[in-house]
């Protein structure tokens, strides 16, 4: 009996020749909603009575152990690149494997297999991914590749002969097959459909291992409605497909029952949520806030300007809600209308300004994060100067500056390119402007409530966030982790604030249950007998 949400390859009635890659278009149809739930699988384990074996049989089994495909005898190391949607996918992959009995390890050298979950947004991310494949092969590790790169470009030379999962998440099949027979490869690139309509993705109730047990990342939809000329992610994620509201609310409710105190909503474009299923983002958000415990927080993910414009009034109300961060990531990419037209962004710069101005007026203190691409094909000095002027005007506290990289297969890759040295010069100039102002200096002296959820990179502080999702570093005291605490801000840096805990102020726990331990599988551990 397996805990699998999947079926072992030996159970399949599909012949897969070892000499060529095989494609299973829609494996989820074989393991759909009639499967046992994670709780049912866990309960089944209670009634299993292992049979005793003769000594001779045990010795034979030990001799075959090195070549065994029994889950639990192999270790897997996973690396994820890219956005929070990719991170969520990675958490589900790890959960499926752990629920199947595989051991996830943080040490790539001790792993039997590397699972590499890729990002196709920029050239450097794909370069890191490709280099990791080469490194794994040099160390004679088995490799399974996943994510947007193989989904968008499955025939790339460096992917030949490898087992591939696109964005379908069904990792166990590839792992079982690859470990069983070196030389066999499985390609799972299909996407789930219902009556011809593509669904939002894999089931939300699949096992997962949260990277941070205090934070639940929920993908509310996959794909988007745009056709940006520079974007490779569209090739991988496809058109918009949204999860039903009731499934998302239930996932959030389960997360809080497992000790989560912060939820991130993610997708390629959260603002477009629901347009394919007859609903919208504000409707989802109002239902989600009803299940958020006091002191816990919700962060809304990236939204493009066209799809948030018609919801500004409702979004302002939601972002003012005490359990929702007053934070929104709205990529502008360029302040030039001619460049935006060439990008096919489907808005003009006045639309972006309307979104920002409205929210800044109605949500006092709101943090607006944005993205800019420097050196898009055809961008003139005048176009670039408009972008510089936009940054000078709004002084965005969070600004992601990207030098343009032509992605293979995109329309922008065929356009006349801006010289490399000019792209680099513009990127440097905009970065210098961004670092010339300090957006948080006026916060010094304030008293704030902050939610502590992470550890700083240097392991010297805990990382908390205030209502505006500004990063606040606080002393590393065990009693603060996962708590809402009150601090006095005494220092401001470019990307952070430092807070001193207020004396006689007691930490408040928003969690309604003890958080899972790091590495523990969501949905399997809390079983009521």
Cα dihedral angle (392, 396, 397, 400), rounded to 10 degrees?
-110
Domains along the chain with CATH numbers: 75-191 (3.40.50.12160), 194-438 (3.80.30.20), 442-501 (2.40.50.140)
Residue 172, pLDDT score: 63
The residues, any chain, with a CB within 8 Å of residue 515's CB and separated by 6 or more, are 213, 214, 258, 259, 260, 261, 482
Written as six digits, the tokens of 372 are 């800019």
- The answer for residues whose C-beta is within 8 angstroms of residue 524's C-beta and 6 or more apart is 3, 38, 39, 41, 42, 99, 207
pLDDT, residue 4, reads 37
CA dist 284 and 301 (Å) reads: 13
- Nearest Cα residue to 186 out of 219, 212, 150, 218: 150
Which class for 122: exposed (0-12), middle (13-18), buried (19 or more C-beta within 10 A)? middle
Cα 132 versus chain centre, distance:
20
SS3 63: helix
Short-list 474, 457, 478, 458, CA closest to 466: 474
Q: What's the rounded Cα separation, in Å, for the pair 90 and 80?
A: 6
Q: Identify the bridge partners of residue 329 per DSSP, sorted by sequence position.
A: 369
Beta pairing partners, 264: 217, 299
pLDDT computed for residue 194 by the predictor = 53
Residue pair 403/377 in contact (Cβ under 8 Å)? The answer is no
pTM over 0.85: no
Could you tell me the mean pLDDT of each successive run of 10 residues in the chain, 529 residues long? Answer: 35 32 35 44 47 38 38 79 77 83 89 84 76 87 80 76 71 62 59 53 82 94 88 74 94 95 94 95 98 97 92 97 98 98 96 98 98 98 98 97 91 96 98 97 98 94 98 97 97 97 94 90 56
How confident is the model at residue 407, as a pLDDT? 86
C-beta of residue 97 within 8 angstroms of C-beta of residue 113: no
Element (H, E) at 327: strand 327-329
């Amino acid at each position: 009996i397996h805990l699998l949400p999947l079926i072992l390859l030996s159970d399949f009635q599909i012949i897969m020749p070892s000499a060529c890659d095989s494609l299973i278009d829609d494996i989820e149809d074989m393991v759909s909603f009639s499967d046992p739930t994670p709780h049912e699988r866990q309960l089944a384990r209670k009634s299993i009575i292992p049979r005793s074996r003769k000594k001779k049989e045990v010795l034979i089994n030990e001799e075959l152990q090195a070549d065994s495909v029994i889950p639990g005898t192999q270790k897997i190391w996973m690396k994820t690149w890219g956005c929070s949607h990719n991170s969520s996918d990675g958490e589900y992959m790890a959960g499926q494997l752990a629920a199947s009995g595989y051991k996830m390890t943080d040490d790539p050298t001790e792993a039997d297999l590397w699972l590499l979950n890729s990002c196709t947004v920029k050239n450097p991310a794909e370069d890191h991914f490709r280099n990791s494949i080469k490194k794994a092969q040099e160390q004679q590790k088995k490799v399974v590749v996943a994510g947007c790169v193989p989904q968008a470009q499955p025939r790339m030379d460096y992917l030949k002969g490898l087992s591939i999962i696109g964005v379908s998440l069904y990792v166990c099949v590839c792992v079982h097959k690859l470990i069983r027979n070196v030389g066999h490869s499985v390609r799972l690139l299909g996407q789930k459909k219902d009556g011809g309509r593509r669904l939002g993705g894999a089931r939300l109730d699949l096992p997962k291992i949260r990277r941070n047990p205090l934070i639940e990342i929920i993908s509310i939809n996959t794909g988007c409605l745009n056709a940006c000329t520079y974007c490779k992610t569209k090739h991988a994620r496809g058109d918009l497909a949204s999860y039903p509201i009731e499934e998302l609310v239930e996932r959030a409710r389960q997360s809080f029952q497992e000790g989560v105190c912060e939820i991130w909503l993610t997708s390629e474009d959260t603002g477009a949520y629901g347009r394919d299923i007859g609903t919208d983002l504000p409707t989802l958000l109002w239902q989600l806030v009803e299940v958020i415990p006091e002191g816990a927080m919700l962060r809304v993910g990236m939204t493009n300007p066209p799809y948030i414009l018609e919801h500004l009034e409702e979004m302002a109300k939601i972002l003012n809600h005490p359990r929702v961060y007053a934070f929104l990531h709205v990529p502008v990419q360029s302040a030039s209308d001619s460049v935006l037209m060439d990008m096919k962004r489907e808005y003009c710069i006045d639309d972006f300004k309307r979104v920002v101005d409205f929210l800044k007026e109605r949500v006092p203190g709101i943090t607006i994060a944005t993205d800019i691409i420097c050196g898009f094909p055809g961008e003139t000095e005048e176009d670039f100067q408009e972008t510089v002027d936009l940054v000078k005007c709004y002084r965005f506290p969070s600004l992601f500056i990207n030098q343009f990289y032509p992605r293979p297969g995109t329309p922008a890759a065929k356009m006349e390119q801006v010289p490399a040295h000019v792209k680099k010069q513009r990127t440097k100039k905009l970065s210098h402007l961004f670092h010339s102002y300090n957006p948080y200096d006026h916060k010094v002296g304030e008293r704030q409530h902050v939610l502590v959820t992470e550890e700083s990179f240097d392991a010297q502080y805990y990382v908390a966030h205030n209502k505006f999702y500004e990063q606040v570093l606080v002393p590393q005291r065990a009693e603060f982790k996962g708590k809402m605490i009150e601090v006095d801000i005494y220092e401001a840096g470019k990307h952070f604030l430092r807070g001193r805990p207020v004396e006689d102020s007691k930490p408040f726990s928003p969690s309604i249950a003890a958080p899972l331990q790091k590495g523990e599988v969501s949905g399997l551990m809390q079983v009521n007998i």
